[in-house]
Amino acid sequence: MSQAGFEPVVLLGRASDERAELLVIDRRTPTPLPPEDAADVPPCIEGLLNGPQCGRATMLPTVVRLEPLPTPRGGLAMARAILTEPAFWQPEVPARYRLQARVTVAGREVASCDRWFGMRRTGIRGRSLWLEGRRFVPRAVGLGGLPATAIADLRLLAAAALIADPDAATCDRATAEGIVIIARLPVAWESGDGRMLGERLVALAGSAAVLMAVIPAAVPAHVVAAAVAVAGRSRGTLLLAREVDATVPPPFGPLAPIDCLVATLPRGALPHARWRQAPPLPVMAAWEPGSDPLPAAASRTDCDRLQALLAGWGQDAQEHPPWEWAGYLVG
């Protein structure tokens, strides 16, 4: 039987600066099986974790063996690893680990993988985004990809990359280089039962560089809810945002399962006055892209202009105190 490749989901479980628990999951259905005499034997994940490695810092690597977990009949194969003194991914120190794993059935290898990944601790506190224990306010510039020149510019500008549905190679490059990606998903997900969108969220969650996936406003709420249900725990710490029109009153109300809103504006426009009320979740401001793409430096300058414009708009309000936006996207 020919050997197959597989892309396991790597989930960060309980984690502290001293200890981190990782789960490695094979989401494929069904798992390839060897000859029929082993058809009732559940699959098993075995392998090693090596690392951390970082191009910007010297780290003491270690090797940890995966511990296979019992696989219930018809269930997903899983394994666990415990890392002591783990190195978590962040833009300044993009630490990565190498996972070399294989799926076996009755002792025979049926699939394998060899990939690098980062462990990222991301979350929401109040109306702010947090990354690796500190408030993180992304200033993201629209890019068509991630060439070497863009990487250098983004580092110099302390900017994130806003990329439409980035491919795996772009995500891997960003993870290795310490570039935060905000991924804008295509409007094509507006139809269907949410399964394909859910699997896309899982794929993006596998990259430490992808902080957030942004769902276009045209995608119906029931499709988003179904996609989140499909992704389940495999979405990990990937944040999910939804685009909304900031020139009309905000859609504050039941917004689960969204983590954040992206309030879009025509360039130079101000939000509707009702946006001055404090939102129940983080809100990022975005200028819609112009007719011509801007260089990264110009887009980063526009982020500052957008921030200044909204700061003045918030301070002009007499009936409501100003509140802080969670980030700024341009292009």
For the chain, 331 residues long, the average pLDDT of each consecutive 10-residue run is 74 95 85 56 91 88 94 84 96 96 90 94 94 95 91 94 96 96 87 88 96 94 92 94 95 81 94 91 90 80 94 73 88 84
Closest CA to 89 of 122, 119, 133, 115: 119
> DSSP character for 17?
S
Closest CA to 249 of 274, 225, 218, 270: 274
Phi-psi label, residue 298: left if phi above 0, alpha if psi -120 to 50, beta otherwise? alpha
Per-residue pLDDT at 204: 96
What is the SS3 assignment for 128?
Answer: strand
Phi, psi angle pair for 144, to nearest 5°: -85, -15
DSSP string computed for 77-107: EEEEEEEES-----SSS--EEEEEEEEEETT
- Say if CB 315 and CB 152 are below 8 A apart: no
Domain ranges of the chain: 4-117, 122-330
Extract the tokens encoding 177. Answer: 């280089």
Q: In what order do the strands lie in the sheet with 134-135?
A: 122-125, 128-131, 134-135
Per-residue pLDDT at 49: 96
Burial of 123 per CB tally in 10 Å (0-12, 13-18, 19+):
middle
Fold of 122-330: TIM Barrel (3.20.20)
DSSP string computed for 276-310: GSPPSS-EEEEEPP-SSPPPHHHHHHHHHHHHHHH
Angle between helices 296-315 and 148-157 (to 10 degrees): 30
pTM exceeds 0.85, yes or no: yes
CATH of domain 4-117: 2.60.40.10
Per-residue pLDDT at 71: 82
- In DSSP terms, 10 is beta-bridged to 24
Q: Which residue has the tokens 């804008």?
A: 184
CA distances from 117 to 207, 208, 220 (A): 7, 7, 32
